[in-house]
Chains A and B, each alone.
Chain A
Amino acid sequence: MIKNISNLGDAALYCDFGNEVNKTTNIKVIKYFKKIKELKIKGINNLTPSYNKLIISFDLNLINFSEVKKKIEDINISENNLKQDQKIIEIPTCCDDEFALDIERLSSKLKLTKKEILEKYLNKEYFCYMTGFIAGMPFLGDIDKHIRLERLETPRIKVPKGAVGITEQFTNIYTFESPGGWNILGKTPIKIFNESNEKQPTLINPGDKVLFYEINKKEFIKLNEK
């Protein structure tokens, strides 16, 4: 299922699953990720799954590229479906103008009203392709074809924590205040990354299903206090 394995530097494997970015390819990446994690291969110290790649980092004091490559090539992954938690993670989102920083840009570029954009975006089931960049940030997809737009030409220096954004076929949540260029259409008051819960710090993980639903400002404030 891995199309090609090469080295990324002297202490990591670069596993390429093909050029396409879709759920089928990504599920293969997630399956490998879960399997390798389970195997606890000595020397492997980090795994980074993304849309269509998996990077396997290792400790050069314990193992080297050709040894890790061999071990990965020997892994058998069943073609069965990914065991998915049937539960849908529901994310309350306030889309009032003060939080929907780019709704006007989206509206004029997409030639849709604010209401139409939100109708196409909210209450749909999205798939989590990967988490990362900043701690716990989920990359979800795929959003409705009619509301896809490229990133801001000049990224914001500070996107607020909790901001919900879209770009191309994806949607994400800024788990920390961070620079970023996604089109922001709302804000969630809930904690997506909880550093005090070491066993399960991330609310959303690769392979999960996620849905955004709208809340008003009053509900936002109430949830934000928790």
Chain B
Amino acid sequence: MKNNKIIVLRDGINSTFQDLGRNNFYHIGLPFSGAMDKRNYLIANKLVGNKYNEAVIEFAYQGPLIKIEDGNINFAISGDIKFNIKKNGKLINGNCYKNYNLSKNDEVDIISTNNSVYGYFAVSGGFDLKQNFGSFSTHVRSKVGANNGIKIQKDDKFFIKDFRDKHANKSLKYMNSKIEYIRILKGTNFDYFFEQSIKEFTSKEFLVTKLSDRMGMRLQGPKIKNLKETNIRSEGLIKGVIQVPADGNPIIMLSDHGTIGGYPKIGVVISADYDRLVQTPPGKKIKFELIELKEAEKLYKLYQMETENLLSQI
């Protein structure tokens, strides 16, 4: 059944299709991509009864305005988002972590994220899209992924694969954590920096600047001074790596990062804190805490258990 269709009346700031990410292509220059905030991505899919790797619309700061052009949809929004629903001509305030049924001519207006960056719009049955390199995730820079590898545009129309309203009336009580300290492990070039700089790096606050997107997060704070070399031989990167170029301002690699880089790596954000990191908007400050690998592994198990626990409540 392909008679359920939406039309995008406003595209939002950075709206793309994302899923769990793309494996096995780092070596040709395709990053992992995928939903930035994995927990919220999984919750959105579970709320509408989808498989965990179904594509959803990820948006940043402001989301799209969507109209149901034909048929019915059942949707849910996750994150910390302000949105309205226009149903049968009536305007209702939307609640995150809850699903809704909409019919032809109804609208969802995703107005803004509250003090966070990313949100997720999932529809029951999933969008009818094509995978590319084993994933729906859009990587705009290499024009790879669903929707021909580009951002969602005004007037785009998308079909829903298989509408089912049996998932209606599901909800979850969940508050996104707002703690602004981020735990890190030592990077492979930790000893390239002055002791004083390392001390400041792990105790002072850093401002998240406006030059932050799905590729990376640029920080400003005390300058991190290099005592060895400001460049290294180009080598692989992974998400969460904190590079420090010659100007002393750290850059954190995020999901769409270039796969190879030549700046020294002072640290790496632990996997358990990644979702929280990416949700920190420009203008906010973060603090780093240095921990050991064993602890990071334990914290990840805890994060995973918490996620599974939340999903099981839906």
Contacts and interface: CB of A to CB of B under 8 A. Distances in A.
A8 B27 contact: no
B75 to A, nearest CB: 27
B268 A9 contact: yes
Interface in B135-151: 141-144, 149
B160 interface: no
Contact of A52 (B233, B240, B241): B233
B300 to A, nearest CB: 5
B291 to A, nearest CB: 10
Contacts of B144: 135, 195
Contacts of B27: 33, 46-49, 130-132, 206
Contact of B26 (A47, A134, A139, A202): A47
Interface string A47-83: 1111111110100110011000000000000000000
A195 B260 contact: no
B293 interface: yes
B29 A9 contact: no
A60 B270 CA distance: 11
Nearest to B265: A8
Interface in B282-305: 293, 296-297, 300, 304
A21 B237 CA distance: 18
Contacts of B260: 48, 50, 130, 132-133
Contacts of B304: 61
Given A132-B259, A135-B144, A51 B233 contact: yes
Contacts, number: 139
A220 interface: no
A203 to B, nearest CB: 11
A137 interface: yes
Contacts of B236: 48-50, 53-55, 132
B79 interface: no
B234 A133 contact: yes
A21 B235 CA distance: 11
A8 B188 CA distance: 7
B123 interface: no
A6 interface: yes
Q: Which of B134, B143, B260 lies at the interface centre, i.e. has the most chain A CB atoms within 10 A of its CB?
A: B260
Contacts of A195: 132-133, 142-144, 149
Nearest to A12: B238
Interface string B242-265: 000000000000000011110001
Interface in A158-198: 175-176, 178, 193, 195, 198
A14 interface: yes
A176 B142 contact: yes
A89 interface: no
Nearest to A20: B233
Interface residues of A, number: 45
A136 B29 contact: yes
Contact of A133 (B29, B133, B134): B29
Interface in A20-44: 21, 33
B312 to A, nearest CB: 16
B43 to A, nearest CB: 17
A9 B142 contact: no
B24 to A, nearest CB: 6
A107 interface: no
Nearest to B23: A45
B259 A133 contact: yes
Nearest to B259: A132
B258 A134 contact: yes
A163 to B, nearest CB: 16
Given A60-B271, A133-B260, A195-B142, A9 B233 contact: no
Contact of A51 (B132, B149, B235): B235
A7 B293 contact: yes
A136 B240 CA distance: 23
Contacts of A14: 188
B293 A65 contact: yes
Nearest to B257: A133
Contacts of A64: 297
12 contacts: A9-B241, A11-B271, A14-B188, A45-B24, A46-B238, A48-B238, A53-B236, A55-B238, A65-B293, A135-B30, A201-B28, A206-B27
Given A51-B234, A136-B28, 6 more contacts: A10-B293, A47-B26, A53-B236, A55-B235, A133-B260, A139-B234
> Closest 5 interchain pairs by CB?
A48-B236, A9-B268, A55-B236, A135-B142, A132-B29
